[in-house]
């Protein structure tokens, strides 16, 4: 079963890549645009740290690691998650989700792997470049356990982002117009470019437990710095698995409320 779905994922990836490479000029241009926006996204960080040694306990180099994780996850989000899941809303609105539900494969898997944007890989590479530059500024490198922990957190962060998007698009089964909700989520995600200690009071609680942005960027950065407690790592992995379980149950329940175009 797993091998079958991996083969299906490979087919979907190959189809998306071939479709994009039909227009190589656009492919290169989109990659350059992504790189440009990554560079401009660093501007607020330079402004905030101008004349300051640290902000909320984070030096410039340490905060750059958080931005690196934000950039990397933004590439994953906009290259592999949102292109497919944005289409679910249109399927529900037009009643064409029938064509997906009738196929002999899991509907959630199919709607999640319909389309990929390979040029967003530039964000992933930019994030890795920011890690290298940040550790150059810090005059040190990540520890081996810290690097392993950060890779584990990369998996849990990706699962968390995916689960939150499944929860968001599942709302389309009950309220057709959820475009603003997806824009709202993307705006909230922008806050993940800052260390979680920058936010205080209610915002700190929301970004840690309700919309766990801290788990996505601050925790992996702390892991690379070798100062993330083991219990926080376990909590992050457990939290992402809990989100995945809840989103799966919500998706299955939402499918039960779907009325096709023929009904």
- Computed over every residue of the chain, the mean pLDDT equals 84
Query: SS in 3 state form for 28-50?
Result: HHHHHHHHHHHHHCCHHHHHHCC
Q: Is the dihedral of CA 20, 21, 25, 30 positive or negative?
A: positive
State mean pLDDT over 99-121.
Answer: 83
**Helix residue spans in the chain (DSSP H):** 2-21, 24-40, 43-48, 60-76, 82-94, 98-101, 107-112, 121-138, 144-170, 179-189, 201-205, 213, 219-224, 230-255
Produce one character per residue of 206-233: b if its CB has 16 or more CB atoms within 10 Å, e if not.
ebbeebbbbbbbbbbbbbbbeebeeebb
| pLDDT tens digits along 184-221 | 777 788 888 888 888 888 888 888 778 888 888 899 99
Say if residue 180's pLDDT is above 70.
no
Q: Under 8 Å CB-to-CB from 180, ≥6 apart: which residues?
A: none
Determine the straight-line distance between the first and last CA of the chain, rounded to whole angstroms: 32
List the Cα angle 157/192/169 in 5-degree steps: 60
User: Helix 24-40 and helix 2-21: axis angle, to 10°?
Assistant: 100
Beta bridge pairs of residue 54? 59
Phi first, then psi: what are they for 229, rounded to 5°?
-60, 150
pLDDT for 242: 92
- DSSP label of 196: G
pLDDT at 173 over 90: no
- Among the ranges given (165-174, 175-184, 225-234), the one the predictor scored with the smallest mean pLDDT: 175-184
pLDDT on residue 203: 80
- What is the distance between the alpha carbons of residues 66 and 130, in angstroms, rounded to a whole number? 9
pTM equals 0.86
């Amino acid at each position: 079963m797993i091998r079958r779905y991996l083969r299906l994922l490979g087919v979907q990836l190959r189809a998306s890549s071939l479709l994009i490479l039909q227009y190589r000029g656009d492919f290169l241009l989109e990659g350059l645009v992504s790189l440009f926006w990554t560079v401009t996204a660093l501007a607020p960080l330079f402004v905030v740290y101008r004349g300051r040694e640290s902000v909320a306990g984070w030096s410039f180099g340490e905060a750059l690691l958080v931005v690196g994780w934000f950039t990397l996850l933004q590439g994953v989000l906009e290259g592999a998650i949102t292109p497919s899941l944005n289409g679910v809303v249109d399927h529900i609105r037009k009643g064409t989700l029938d064509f997906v539900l009738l196929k002999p494969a899991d509907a959630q898997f199919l709607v999640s792997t319909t389309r990929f944007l390979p040029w967003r890989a530039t964000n992933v590479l930019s994030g890795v470049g920011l890690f290298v530059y940040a550790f150059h500024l810090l005059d040190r490198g990540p520890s081996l356990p810290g690097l392993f922990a950060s890779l584990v957190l990369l998996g849990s962060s990706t699962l968390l982002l995916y689960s939150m998007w499944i929860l968001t698009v599942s709302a389309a089964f009950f309220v057709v117009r959820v475009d603003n909700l997806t824009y709202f989520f993307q705006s909230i995600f922008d806050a993940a470019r800052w260390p979680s200690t920058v936010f205080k009071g209610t915002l700190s609680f929301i970004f840690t437990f309700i919309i766990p942005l801290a788990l996505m960027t601050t925790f992996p950065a702390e892991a690379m710095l070798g100062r993330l407690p083991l219990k926080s790592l376990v909590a992050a992995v457990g939290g992402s698995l809990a989100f995945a379980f809840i989103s799966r149950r919500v998706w299955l329940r939402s499918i039960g409320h779907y009325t096709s175009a023929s009904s």
